[in-house]
Structure 1
Amino acid sequence: MLLNSLGKYILLMRLSFKRPEKFSVYWNEVMHEMVSVGIGSLGIIAIISIFIGAAVTIQTAFQLINPIIPKSVVGSIARDSTILEFSPTISALVLAGRVGSSMASQIGTMRVTEQIDALEIMGVNSPGFLISPKIIAGVTMIPLLVIVSVLLGFTGGYIACSLSSEVSTSDFITGLSDGFNSIIVTVCLTKAAVFGFIITSICSFQGFYTSGGALEVGQAATRGVVYSCVMILFFDLVISRIFL
């Protein structure tokens, strides 16, 4: 069963990236998906990033405030934690629920209402037309959203420092720049791109092979989100182990 599903997944990905019949139509679809994934998700990413950045800073300060330890260490640890783990991983998990479920439901609805069959009868490569723009948008826009998440996480940490007396804002800013290693940015963006591919490809796969009615569409969307979250956590570990 697992090998059969994996084979169908690989075949679907191959069909999704065949040469398109008409580039202008695919380009319009890519732009539409970029707006949906990027602009549509900006609000929720902004909210969670600010609060997570503030919470990480407060908890780090609580654990490390000691006369021997420089207070700027709080900023360094909050920076590395935000860039390496919190922004890419938590953002991806949230986007799996928002973006992934939407994609699975959209494609699944088209399948059960026979719209995909109509596209294939007209000679359109339905996986390429429906799935490749979503994958391109996910791999492109989710790293950009993660960059925004990192910056807003730092902003949340700065706000938390300004509202508390444990760590000053100047110490926090000093910690953000002390001992910075550019490899963490590489790891962050690699995770974001891989997570974007995982979310869009798995959820599209679940929607594309939906059969039945509205109940099955909902089940396919749920499976897409659950499988995406599991694979995000798995590849989070794999990428961290490879780079770090």
Structure 2
Amino acid sequence: MNAPHTFMLPAFQLRQLTLQAGKRYLLDKIDAELPRGQFTAIVGPNGAGKSTLLKLLGGLLTGQQGQILLDGIPLNTINQSDRARKLGWLGQFPPNELPLNLANYVLLGRRPSLGSFGRASSDDLARVNEALVSVELHTRSTSPWRNLSGGERQRAGLARLLTQDAPIWLLDEPTNHLDLKHQALLFRRLRTEVAKGRTIVAVLHDLTQAARWADHVLLLGNGRLLAQGEPTSCLESVSLSQAYQWPVRLWQSQEGCWQVAVGEVA
């Protein structure tokens, strides 16, 4: 549960956030607020700074200038164990080799609650099983990690997040390796979690998915924040074409389906 004094604060506040690599700005003076209890999609072309921004939010990178506030507190003042209880992370590339079976990998999600030497309780194991059922992997629970496909590993990462039960999830291209069915199930699950009060921030490449599923969007281009807010106001042709440096148009059909056209602006 959120403390009363943090309930109305944005989950994250970014103030002049800047990161350079040599002379190149990976992120340039980003000012943004990521709302609590909503699904924020970070979109933009390759090299725009999307994954870099997500890593900064997770404390995996440190900006050279500016500040990130998590629940109103500077992120760099929050110790690692407290961060692990607040933030759940799912990267875009699951590890290739792990000396674990599937269930033991998912059990790693309980580590922030167990501590370094804690032993899993029956409740912890029940959470693992429930999470595996929810991602349709319960029949593979004893399978060695090396025997899982890329899509199964990605779904295992989601199960690990469910067992961790952090109030904020950070997802870097979570649809990687997933087939169409499991992409749809993923987004339905994310909406279910948001309905329960969880905050989700995800890097997405597919603009139609961002428009359909997200509540809030950050549009990046060349390390700069070009637009933020509701998808319908942010993902308009002028901003998209500026971000991608190419004509891009996104619209909703009469049937309610989102569509994108590249190379033409009508």
Q: TM-score, normalised by structure 2?
A: 0.22
Which of the pair has more CA radius of gyration? 1
Question: Does 1 or 2 have the higher relative contact order (CA < 8 Å, sep 6+)?
Answer: 1
Which structure has more strand as a fraction of its residues? 2
Which structure has more helix as a fraction of its residues? 1
Q: TM-score, normalised by structure 1?
A: 0.24
